[in-house]
A = this chain, B = another copy of it.
Amino acid sequence: MTHLAMGDGAEFDRIRALLSHFGTQAAGIGDDAAVLSIPTGEQLIASVDVAVEAVHFRAEWLAPDEIAWRAMHAALSDLAAMGATPRGVLLSWTLPPDRLQWLDAIAAGSAAAARAAEVPIVGGNLSRGDTLTLGTTVMGSAVHPVSRAGAQVGDRCYVTGRLGGPQAALRAWLAGAQPSAAARERFAHPVARLREGRWLAGAGATAMIDISDGLLADAGHLAAASGVSLAITSALVPVHPDSVHADALRSGEEYELFITAPLIDCAQFERELGTTLTAVGEVRHAEGGPRVRFDTPGDVSRVDSPRGHDHFS
């Protein structure tokens, strides 16, 4: 799709520069709003996420293109958790004057992230402001979106990937050290589990949530929404090589998926998608209210949110 012709002026010069970075990843830019087709029979799935400098990342930790990649896949992860196929993203960026020189790298990082997810950049908004803020709206579609509210007593609980990498990277940075390359990569270049989410939706997942607040917290969100309790066998939770068990349970911004479903063939999943899928527990009746129970002594946690990330979708 071509873009609309734009006139002269610094504003449009900046947009033309962005479009040169987006390349074929941008589609139909330049009108009042983007126009997208949602396949007949599918529902629109949409979410917005924001990455604010000094709140969600620090400029000393990541290069600007990594900040942009991470912002986009963090947002896309919410589509993955619904089993949706991404159809378009809208970017809303606020840049302070001393970050304007990052604009090219941010655009390049966004284009690479969109390309990896096979989603077009369909529009956006560029504003000045005091704080670098990358807002990302993701729009996708699904025939049968998987909510976090559908877990059934008797289902198994599964988790994709290995947890703890982002937490390990954070710990290193906060201690003034450099994280291992593998842990850093998990923080800087998360990959939204879009194919995995669709596969799991097709395989009968009853509920899904992406792990952004940490397994403990996100399993709690799913339990509360579904009105069930979850019995997690702590020793089964897959741990990133650079992490330890206790951290893996709480590490946030993993962008892995936590799933409830009847029996799933984890070996087949791994063969077809190249990602591990691990059974970690089961769904129980919510006697006395939804709970997440880990099998380690003293680790019976009420459903709550130990992290500070506010989120109303």
The residues of A with any CB-CB pair to B shorter than 8 Å are: 4-12, 14-15, 18-19, 29-38, 40, 43-50, 52, 54-56, 78-79, 81-82, 84, 87-88, 90-92, 94, 122-131, 133, 135, 137-140, 145, 147-149, 208-210, 220-221, 223-225, 227, 290, 302-306, 308-313
CA distance A52 to B127 in the complex (A): 8
Q: Are A79 and B33 in contact (CB under 8 A)?
A: yes
Chain B's nearest CB lies how many Å from the CB of A292?
10
Assess the A310–B34 pair: CB atoms within 8 A: no
State the CA gap A148–B310 with chains docked (Å).
37
Interchain CB contact under 8 A, B38 and A125: no
A145, B35: Cβ atoms closer than 8 Å: yes
Most buried by B among A29, A138, A208, A225: A225
Indicate which residue in B12, B127, B223, B224 contacts A305 across the interface (CB closer than 8 Å): B12
Evaluate contact between B311 and A11: CB separation under 8 angstroms: yes
In the complex, the count of this chain's copies comes to 2
> Which one of B7, B48, B94, B129 contacts A125 once the chains associate, using CB atoms below 8 Å?
B48
- Please, how many angstroms separate the alpha-carbon atoms of A202 and B285 in the complex? 54
Bound complex: CA A131 to CA B145 (Å): 35
Contacts of A310 in B (CB 8 A): 11, 14-15, 125-128
Contact of A92 among B6, B92, B209, B303 (CB under 8 A): B92
